[in-house]
Structure 1
Amino acid sequence: MGQQASVPKAGAELQVIGAGLPRTGTASFSAALEILLDGPTYHGGTQISRGAPIEVKSWIKALQYWIKGDSASRVEMQKIVRQRLTGYTAVTDAPCSEFVPELLEIYPDAKVICTTRDPIAWEKSMVQLQSLAMAWFLRAVLLPLPAMRHFVGYTDLLAIQWKRLYGPDAGSHGRETYAKHIAWLKETVPEDRLVLFDVKDGWEPLCKALGKEVPKDIPFPRINDSEEINRTAQYHIQQGLKRWGVILAGVAVAVGVYVKVV
């Protein structure tokens, strides 16, 4: 989570499907699950933004298959999901928070836990994230980066998925979208397998849901999602600008050599 992508662990089996939307404490939740389940958590935002190019490319393909909607595409989408989540004990954050029905088919014994937050606070946070993700210069700046050059295309597909699940206004990330997500989960997930959890409540309710003892002398992880996302965005923008600097410098040298020869 945070600044580092998690690494799969041989033999690990997925036990928790994190169904909470981004900006609901998913980073803190992921860190807590790694402690309780003694294995790596696949936090979507971190794996896509900090992982190898195959991460974002795979989820782009999965979303494309999901959007097609036919049975053959669903099978291909689930193959990709299995590949990406093999070796993890839990998955959190988007895009898997919108793949809950498919994940339930793949992992029938997993518990579904949705991190929650005050809808008004969530709306404000998502508007901030949206403004960052839709910055006019982002596609050009990220172009030299092997993985992040695909990020804008990924978010475009994610927006299509959200609109299909939550309605045409989902792109605005209003509190209505948050409410529709919770309602969708209650309709999709059997009541005895769905847990709503606010990270502000700490270890006790989460441990109770998972049948685990409260960790002794280990504080519940407190990771600020907004700060982590801003830090990651700044890092990639800086890396993109550095790459462009190298590229333009190389072009300038090549042009200078050409002019001298001519």
Structure 2
Amino acid sequence: MSTKLALEHLGFGPCHHMVEVMENPAQPAHWTSIAAGRPVDWDAVFKGYNAQVDWPGAAVWQQTMVAFPEAKVIHTERPEEAWWNSFNITISKFFTNAPDMDLPPHVHDIFRTMSGWFLKNTFEDHTDRDCAIAAFRANNQAVRALVPAYRLLVFQVTDGWQPLCDFLDVPVPDIPFPRSNPRDEFWAHFGGEPD
């Protein structure tokens, strides 16, 4: 979310994010088609957006990198344990609990699609720390191997504005880099964190 807020502040918004899939009525049908392996019009999928972060878009980075050959790729990384700790109490916990949560029907549909597609394709077992970290490492290596260096910024939000602004060739804002509380913000979308 911090990267989304930063990109939007720099003028690269609106920025597509999982919240867009839940809140924009045109979005779920695109991702259902993508999950089913049907051909899609990437311009239509991202119509109205100037940037993309987070899942589900991050699950198709190889396709979108080809579909948008002029786009720059910002690959956010963090230390493995910090990533696992965050993932484990947000995304992994959500997918474990979603079937029993009181969610609107369209949100249940979206996450059933996501669970049967990118979660399954990305992680052998998203609840197992070692399996999840192995997938995290594999993705980081794939990005570094496949994205041409001139298009790639490997970025940690703790680096702040400077490397991001240098990469995007925009001035550094005179405000602090956005910081979000991913756990609280994540669970706020679903009415609170389950026990």
Q: Same fold (TM over 0.5)?
A: yes
Match of 2:146 among 182, 185, 188: 188
Following TM superposition, by how much is the alpha carbon of 1:57 offset from its aligned partner in structure 2, in angstroms? 3.1
Following TM superposition, by how much is the alpha carbon of 1:171 offset from its aligned partner in structure 2, in angstroms? 6.2
Q: Deviations over 1:64-98 (max 9, x none)?
A: 11xxxxxxx4xx13x1x321212211011011112
Match of 2:108 among 146, 149, 174: 149
Q: Does 1:132 find its partner at 2:94?
A: yes
Q: Deviations over 1:171-196 (max 9, x none)?
A: 63622221111101122211221111
Q: Deviations over 1:223-257 (max 9, x none)?
A: 122111111121699xxxxxxxxxxxxxxxxxxxx
- Shift in alpha-carbon separation, 1:183–1:85, aligned structure 2, 3 A: same
Write 1 or 2 for the structure with the bigger share of helix.
1
Q: Does 1:105 find its partner at 2:66?
A: yes
1:159–1:171: 8 Å Cα contact kept in structure 2? no
- Shift in alpha-carbon separation, 1:92–1:229, aligned structure 2, 3 A: same
2:187–2:193: 8 Å Cα contact kept in structure 1? no
2:86–2:183: 8 Å Cα contact kept in structure 1? yes
- Shift in alpha-carbon separation, 1:194–1:176, aligned structure 2, 3 A: same
1:113–1:197: 8 Å Cα contact kept in structure 2? yes
The residue that corresponds to 2:33 in the other structure is: 61
2:65–2:71: 8 Å Cα contact kept in structure 1? yes
The one-letter code sitting in structure 1 at the alignment partner of 2:29 is K
The one-letter code sitting in structure 2 at the alignment partner of 1:192 is Y
TM-score, normalising length: structure 2: 0.86
The residue that corresponds to 1:37 in the other structure is: 11
Secondary structure, in 3 states, of the residue corresponding to 2:48?
coil
TM-score, normalising length: structure 1: 0.66
Q: Does 1:174 find its partner at 2:141?
A: no
Consecutive unaligned residues of structure 2, counting only runs of 5 or more, are none
- Matches for 1:111-260 after TM superposition, within 5 Å: 111-129=72-90, 130-135=92-97, 137-138=99-100, 141-142=102-103, 145-154=104-113, 155-163=115-123, 168-169=124-125, 172=128, 174-216=132-174, 218-234=175-191
Bigger CA radius of gyration: 1
Following TM superposition, by how much is the alpha carbon of 1:56 offset from its aligned partner in structure 2, in angstroms? 2.5
In 2, distance between residues paired with 1:101 and 1:152?
A: 22
Secondary structure, in 3 states, of the residue corresponding to 2:10?
helix
Consecutive unaligned residues of structure 1, counting only runs of 5 or more, are 1-26, 66-72, 238-262
Q: Does 1:28 find its partner at 2:9?
A: no
Identity %, equivalent residues: 26
